Structure 1
Amino acid sequence: MNKTSSFSPRALICDIDGTITDKSRRINLDSVSVIRTLIDNDIPVIFASGNTVCSLTFLCKMVGTDGTIISENGGVYRIGFAGELKICGDKDVSITAYKRLQDYFQKKGVSLELYSPEYRFADVAFAHTGDADEVREVVKDLPVKILDSGFALHIMSDYVNKGTTFLKVSKEIGISPDNFIAIGDSSNDIELIKNAGLGVAVGGGQKSAAEAADYVSLKKFGDGFSESVRKYFPSLF
Structure 2
Amino acid sequence: MLKALVTDVDGTITDSRRRINTAAVECIRTLVDGGVEVVIASGNTVCFMDGLCKMVGTNGTIIGENGGVYRRYFDGTLQVAGDQQVCRDAFTVLQDHFSAKGTGLELYSPDYRFADVAFARNVDVDEVRQVVRNHGFPVRVLDTGFAVHLQVLGVNKGTALHELAGMMGLSPAEIMAVGDSENDIEMIRAAGVGVAVANSTGTTRTAADYVSEARYGDGFVEAVKKYYADFFSR
Q: Which residue of 1 aligns with 2:27?
A: 34
Specify every segment of 5 or more residues in structure 1 that has no aligned partner in the other structure, as ranges. Answer: 1-7
Deviation of 1:151 after TM superposition, in Å, equals 1.2
Following the alignment from structure 1 to structure 2, what is the Cα–Cα distance between the partners of residues 184 and 20? 9
Following the alignment from structure 2 to structure 1, what is the Cα–Cα distance between the partners of residues 148 and 16? 16
Number of residue pairs the alignment of both structures matches: 230
Q: Which residue of 2 aligns with 1:175?
A: 170
What TM-score does the superposition give when structure 1 sets the normalisation length? 0.95
Following the alignment from structure 1 to structure 2, what is the Cα–Cα distance between the partners of residues 206 and 194? 15
Deviation of 1:176 after TM superposition, in Å, equals 1.0
Q: Does 1:236 align with 2:221?
A: no
Deviation of 1:23 after TM superposition, in Å, equals 2.1
Deviation of 1:14 after TM superposition, in Å, equals 0.8
Runs of 4+ in 1 over 6 A off after TM superposition: none
Q: 1:207 aligns with which of 202, 206, 229?
A: 202
Q: Does 1:17 align with 2:13?
A: no
Name the aligned partner's letter for residue 115 of structure 2. A
Deviation string 1:152-202 (CA, Å, 9 cap, x unpaired) is 110011120110111011001101100111000011111100010010001
Q: 1:220 aligns with which of 202, 210, 215?
A: 215
Deviation of 1:129 after TM superposition, in Å, equals 2.4
Following the alignment from structure 1 to structure 2, what is the Cα–Cα distance between the partners of residues 117 and 17? 20
Following the alignment from structure 1 to structure 2, what is the Cα–Cα distance between the partners of residues 23 and 97? 31
Q: 2:147 aligns with which of 149, 152, 171?
A: 152
Following the alignment from structure 2 to structure 1, what is the Cα–Cα distance between the partners of residues 48 and 191? 24
Deviation string 1:71-100 (CA, Å, 9 cap, x unpaired) is 100100111111111100000000011111
Q: Which residue of 2 aligns with 1:165?
A: 160
Deviation of 1:111 after TM superposition, in Å, equals 1.5
Q: Secondary structure at the match of 1:155?
A: strand
Q: Name the Cα RMSD after superposition.
A: 0.9
Q: Secondary structure at the match of 1:46?
A: strand
Deviation of 1:133 after TM superposition, in Å, equals 1.4
| Greater mean deviation of Cα atoms: 182-191 or 123-132 | 123-132
Deviation string 1:50-82 (CA, Å, 9 cap, x unpaired) is 010000011111111111111100100111111
Following the alignment from structure 2 to structure 1, what is the Cα–Cα distance between the partners of residues 78 and 140? 23
Specify every segment of 5 or more residues in structure 2 that has no aligned partner in the other structure, as ranges. Answer: none
Following the alignment from structure 2 to structure 1, what is the Cα–Cα distance between the partners of residues 54 and 182? 27
Q: Which residue of 2 aligns with 1:101?
A: 94
Name the aligned partner's letter for residue 180 of structure 1. I
Name the aligned partner's letter for residue 127 of structure 1. A
Deviation string 1:198-234 (CA, Å, 9 cap, x unpaired) is 1000111211110100001101111111111011111
Deviation string 1:107-144 (CA, Å, 9 cap, x unpaired) is 11112121111100000001112322111000111011
Q: Which residue of 2 aligns with 1:115?
A: 108
Name the aligned partner's letter for residue 214 of structure 1. D
Q: Secondary structure at the match of 1:38?
A: helix
Name the aligned partner's letter for residue 57 of structure 1. D
Q: Secondary structure at the match of 2:114?
A: coil
